[in-house]
């Protein structure tokens, strides 16, 4: 079986992302985490920094690899001959956004299927944007991010 892809901007990676990645691995056996540059968002960390943070946060985890892509998810999936992407859902807002993304991904690559995983209750309110704002104002976000991310923000 080919790995499933879990994609996102991961700016920064949160414990909610880590939970979804591990749950996807439990279902599909292997996960490729793909970091994308989201032109609609102001990035705090470069793509290279986000890849490194994910690799550190997932160190020792079997059957999980981290990659990056500058373009469209559908193009990445085609290039690597992957056919399944997993997306996390926290709210109805996520559902509406992700359905639209799934529609266009399938239009660009008809073999692509999107599987949605709901965020667990512990992490359903975590967003990278909210955490970046909290750090800007001096808040301690260590309960919601891996230790490597907490260290990166302190730099």
CATH number reported for the structural domain that contains residue 65 in this entry:
3.40.50.620
Q: Which two tokens stand for residue 150?
A: 């907490």
pLDDT of residue 44: 85
pLDDT of residue 93: 83
**Axis-axis angle for helices 92-108, 73-80 (nearest 10):** 50
Widest CA span in the chain: 45
Structurally, how many domains does the chain consist of? 1
Tens-binned pLDDT, residue by residue, of the chain (155 aa): 789 999 999 999 999 999 999 999 999 999 999 998 766 666 789 999 999 999 999 999 999 999 999 889 999 999 999 999 999 998 888 898 899 999 999 999 999 999 999 999 988 888 888 898 898 898 899 999 999 999 998 87
Which residues are catalytically annotated? Answer: 17, 41, 90, 128
pLDDT of residue 40: 66
By residue range, what is the domain housing residue 58? 4-154
CA–CA dist 95, 87 (Å, integer): 10
pLDDT of residue 91: 85
The DSSP symbol for 121 reads G
Which pairs count as long-range contacts for 132-137, CB under 8 Å and 24+ apart, including other chains?
A: 132/11, 132/12, 132/44
């Amino acid at each position: 079986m080919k790995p499933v892809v879990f994609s996102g901007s991961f700016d920064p990676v949160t414990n909610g992302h880590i939970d979804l990645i591990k749950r996807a691995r439990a279902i599909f056996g292997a996960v490729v985490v793909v970091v994308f540059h989201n032109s609609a968002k102001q990035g705090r960390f470069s793509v290279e920094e986000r890849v490194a943070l994910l690799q550190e946060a997932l160190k020792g985890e079997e059957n999980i690899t981290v990659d990056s892509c500058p373009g469209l998810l559908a193009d990445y999936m085609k290039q690597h001959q992957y056919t399944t992407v997993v997306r996390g859902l926290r709210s109805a807002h996520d559902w509406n956004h992700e359905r639209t993304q799934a529609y266009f991904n399938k239009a660009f690559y008809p073999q692509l299927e999107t599987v949605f995983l709901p965020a667990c209750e512990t992490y359903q309110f975590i967003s990278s944007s909210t955490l970046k704002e909290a750090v800007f104002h001096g808040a301690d976000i260590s309960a919601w991010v891996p230790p490597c991310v907490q260290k990166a923000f302190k730099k």
